[in-house]
Amino acid sequence: MAIKEAFYGYILARELVSVQEETLTQREDALRVARERFEAGLVPDFEVLSAESDVENFKPEVISAQNQVELALLAVKDLLNITDDEDYDLELVGELSPVFFDFDRESLVDMAVKNNYDLRAFRSNVNIARFQESLKKAERLPFIGAFSKYNVQSTFDAATGANDYTNWDDVLTVGVNVSIPLSGLLPYSREYSERLKSGLDLAALEKNLSSLESGIRISIESTLLKIREEKAKISSSLKTVELASRLYESARDQFANGYITRIELKEAEVRLNSARIGYLTAVFNYLSALFDLMDIVGVHEFDAGMRRSS
């Protein structure tokens, strides 16, 4: 998941460069219009100087955004263990677009329980502890054994050695043996201590197992809430970008015709820039939340059947 997140971090940085470069182009266009209006005698030279200042002040923003792309690319290379650029011609291709899913909480919990290694190990340890506790409890139970013995005595013909059953005697012996481990009943005996310890060990493991299962449920629930939040931000940001774009186009036409000032044009430009950055950030945060959910559940991708058509 770290590679996926780093990859989309690079895509986000690249998209932000495009936004900043477009904003710089818009400011340069405003400077061109200001010069044309100054040459026509419609505005003072202050208007041109202010527009030039806006352009120069924004150039460091573009450079900073470009540097973020390089840093994001280095992060991807580091995760891929690429240390020598001469051996690789690396090109990352992708787009920052959301893919929406319909999730069922219980299904996600079942997947997490099935795939979580720590949870499987805990359950195995709990089963072993339960078996050991049952053995310790069995040690204090009485042992009951039964036996029987049947003897036949008869005379025999000394000449032939054959048994003579005309004069014989038999004995049937039946008995029951009951063994009670008294030491296991004493509160300070070794057996009693071992039985008590096995019970405590089992209780501790069961508590840890319950805590781990509860933690997984809470993590899934909180991540789903984050996903829902970012989805709402994406929807809102799309509308904001659309409105800000229309507002900017209108402001640009009005500025060219002298109906509004350069400050008002700049405000429309800033709104559009912020709206685009807000949308891209919301998409990235949504994808990051999806990756977090995949990590919790223990999968690399979600089933295509969960995807929404829109």
Taking only the tens place, the pLDDT of each residue in 215-246 is 888 889 999 999 999 999 999 999 999 999 99
Answer whether 202's CB lies under 8 Å from 126's CB.
yes
Cβ count within 10 A of residue 271? 18
How far apart, in whole angstroms, are the C-alpha atoms of residue 166 and residue 124? 68
What pLDDT score does 152 carry?
65
Distances (CA, A) of 296 to 100, 266, 292, 302: 18, 45, 6, 12
Taking only the tens place, the pLDDT of each residue in 271-299 is 999 999 999 999 999 999 999 999 888 88
Answer whether 208's CB lies under 8 Å from 163's CB.
no
- For the chain, residues with pLDDT lower than 70 are 1, 84-89, 117-118, 120, 122, 126, 129-145, 147, 150, 152-170, 172, 177-197, 304-306, 308-310
How far apart, in whole angstroms, are the C-alpha atoms of residue 80 and residue 83? 9
What pLDDT score does 192 carry?
61
Distances (CA, A) of 234 to 73, 243, 304: 25, 14, 21
Taking only the tens place, the pLDDT of each residue in 126-149 is 677 666 666 666 556 665 667 677
Q: Rounded to two decimals, what is the model's pTM?
A: 0.71
Tokens encoding 204: 């501790």
Please state the length of the chain. 310
Cβ count within 10 A of residue 242? 11
Phi-psi region of 81 (alpha: psi -120 to 50; beta: other; left: phi over 0): left
How far apart, in whole angstroms, are the C-alpha atoms of residue 23 and residue 41? 27
